[in-house]
């Protein structure tokens, strides 16, 4: 008897860990060294967890043996609520906070609790593909609104408004954006809020990169600008504190709770079904929220800033390649001019690059960008290694044909 995957998985994809990854794994198993520029995992590139986080982890080991509250330990939820109250959120307490095994788990829970079959969720294009995947898995319909490369990858508000229908339930905002590195202006966020207000939509604001911004850019919290809207804000420690493997994330519910009371019952039920988040990771949250070591990495001349700048400059030196300067995050999303390089299948391109150069990047269509003319490159290697890798990609492009 043959066992087939569930029909619920039809159309669900996550190319960051998709088929090309399997080829990369096979090459490593055969003895090749692969430069993994496909996933924002700081640890392999020499980024260490902050000392304060590790000390907090060790100190709390004796208390981390049992289940916690389904939403997370109260002290950590209180710390998260206070952190965001200091940043302009209104009416928060520990009941406003759900802890999770990273933002990925919480995004799935948040969508599952809201979406019925056929409901639509507005998601940016390009997007972090998890949002599209969990919407499809919930039986919903992801509807992608375009972000404008010519405007620094800010959302195209006219396109967003045109795609709102009677089935639309929520708008996803990813700010700072993965994969483009855009940091959204307060004006754009207020206009998105007005659309959500006018059409009665929930907002999911993915702000995992809020502390990784460059060149004096300022991150603005959506919920602080629109306190009258039901907004779920997602954050965590994976990137800012370089502990992706700890899986320490949270979501904050803000706005008029009575309007979301029934929804929150469902969200709390889903939180209970997983029993609780990882108890050990929860115990590092209080210490982590007072750790500011990320500031040294993103300041001018800091390691993350230097790597981002090197990647952006080197990409723009390649013939037929252009890249908007990322203002936040850990990625670059360059455009490969189709009139110069004539790439028709970007997944085939990244696979061919992997096979020849042993460099692993992700195709732009994997982020639900409609044309095969972009790729995403992780900017975590040291600046010198970053430049060498991008020049190798450039040499590959010079001789590549499809």
User: What was the pLDDT predicted at 145?
Assistant: 98
In a domain, 147, yes or no: yes
**Do 275 and 332 belong together in one domain?**
no
The total number of structural domains that make up the chain: 2
DSSP bridge pairs for 360:
36
Full residue range of the structural domain in which residue 354 is found? 7-48+296-399
**Do 323 and 334 belong together in one domain?**
yes
**Do 115 and 253 belong together in one domain?**
yes
Closest of 91, 101, 104, 115 to residue 71, by C-alpha: 101
Alpha-carbon gap, residue 234 to 136, rounded angstroms: 20
**Do 173 and 90 belong together in one domain?**
yes
Question: Residue by residue, what is the 3-state secondary structure of 55-100?
Answer: HHHHHHHHHCCCCCCCCCCHHHHHHHHHHHHCCCCCCCCHHHEEEE
In a domain, 351, yes or no: yes
N-term to C-term CA, the chain: 40
Contacts of 248 (CB under 8 A, 6+ apart): 99, 102, 236, 237, 238, 278, 281, 282, 284, 285, 288
**Do 177 and 267 belong together in one domain?**
yes
In a domain, 2, yes or no: no
User: What was the pLDDT predicted at 216?
Assistant: 93
- The interaxial angle of helices 130-137 and 102-114, nearest 10 deg, is 40
**Do 44 and 124 belong together in one domain?**
no
Low-confidence ranges of the chain (pLDDT < 50): none
- Give Cα separations from 53 to 186, 285, 335, 377 (angstroms): 32, 8, 38, 28
**Do 256 and 311 belong together in one domain?**
no
DSSP bridge pairs for 97:
252
Q: Tell me the per-residue pLDDT of 332-363, one tens digit each, with 9 for 90 and over.
A: 999 999 999 989 999 999 999 999 999 999 99
Q: DSSP string spanning 154-213?
A: EE-HHHHHHT--TTEEEEEEESS-TTT-----HHHHHHHHHHHHHHT-EEEEE-TTTT-B
**Do 16 and 106 belong together in one domain?**
no
**CATH code of the domain covering residue 234:** 3.40.640.10
219 within 8 A of 181, measured Cβ to Cβ: no
Alpha-carbon gap, residue 4 to 114, rounded angstroms: 28
Domain final position from 238, 259, 289: 289
User: What was the pLDDT predicted at 14?
Assistant: 67
Alpha-carbon gap, residue 183 to 210, rounded angstroms: 9
In degrees and rounded to multiples of 5, residue 143 shows phi and psi of -115, 120
**Do 209 and 358 belong together in one domain?**
no
């Amino acid at each position: 008897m043959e066992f087939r995957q569930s029909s619920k998985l039809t159309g669900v994809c996550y190319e960051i860990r998709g088929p090309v990854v399997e080829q990369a794994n096979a090459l490593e198993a055969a003895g090749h060294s692969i430069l993994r520029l496909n996933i924002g995992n700081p640890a392999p590139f020499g980024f260490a967890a902050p000392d304060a986080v590790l000390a907090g982890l060790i100190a709390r080991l004796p208390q981390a043996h049992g289940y916690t509250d389904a939403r997370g330990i109260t002290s950590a939820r209180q710390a998260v609520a206070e952190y965001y109250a200091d940043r302009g959120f209104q009416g928060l307490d520990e009941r406003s906070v759900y802890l999770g095994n990273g933002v990925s788990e919480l995004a799935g829970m948040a969508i599952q609790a809201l979406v019925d079959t056929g409901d639509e969720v507005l998601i940016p294009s390009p997007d972090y593909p998890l949002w599209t995947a969990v919407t499809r898995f919930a039986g919903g319909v992801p509807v992608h609104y375009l972000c404008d490369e010519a405007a620094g990858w800010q959302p195209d508000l006219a396109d967003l408004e045109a795609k709102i229908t009677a089935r639309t339930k929520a708008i996803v905002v990813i700010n700072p954006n993965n994969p483009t590195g855009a940091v959204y202006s307060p004006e754009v966020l207020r206009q998105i809020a007005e659309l959500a207000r006018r059409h009665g939509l929930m907002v999911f604001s993915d702000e995992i990169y809020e502390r990784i911004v460059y060149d004096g850019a300022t991150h603005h919290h959506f919920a602080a600008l629109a306190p009258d809207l039901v907004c779920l804000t997602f954050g965590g420690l994976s990137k800012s504190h370089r502990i992706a493997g700890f899986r320490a994330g949270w979501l904050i519910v803000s706005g008029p709770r009575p309007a979301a009371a029934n929804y929150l019952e469902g969200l709390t039920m889903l939180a209970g079904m997983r029993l609780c988040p990882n108890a050990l990771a929860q115990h590092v949250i209080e210490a982590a929220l007072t750790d500011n070591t990320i500031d040294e990495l993103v300041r001018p001349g800091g390691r993350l800033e230097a790597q981002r700048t090197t990647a952006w400059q080197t990409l723009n030196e390649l013939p037929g390649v252009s890249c908007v300067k990322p203002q936040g995050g850990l990625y670059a999303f360059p455009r490969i001019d189709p009139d110069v390089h004539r790439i028709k299948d970007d997944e085939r391109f990244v696979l061919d690059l992997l096979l020849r150069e042993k460099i692993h990047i992700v195709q732009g269509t994997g982020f639900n960008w409609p044309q095969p003319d972009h790729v995403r490159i992780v900017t975590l290697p040291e600046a010198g290694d970053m430049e060498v890798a991008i020049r190798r990609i450039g040499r590959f492009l010079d001789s590549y044909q499809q």
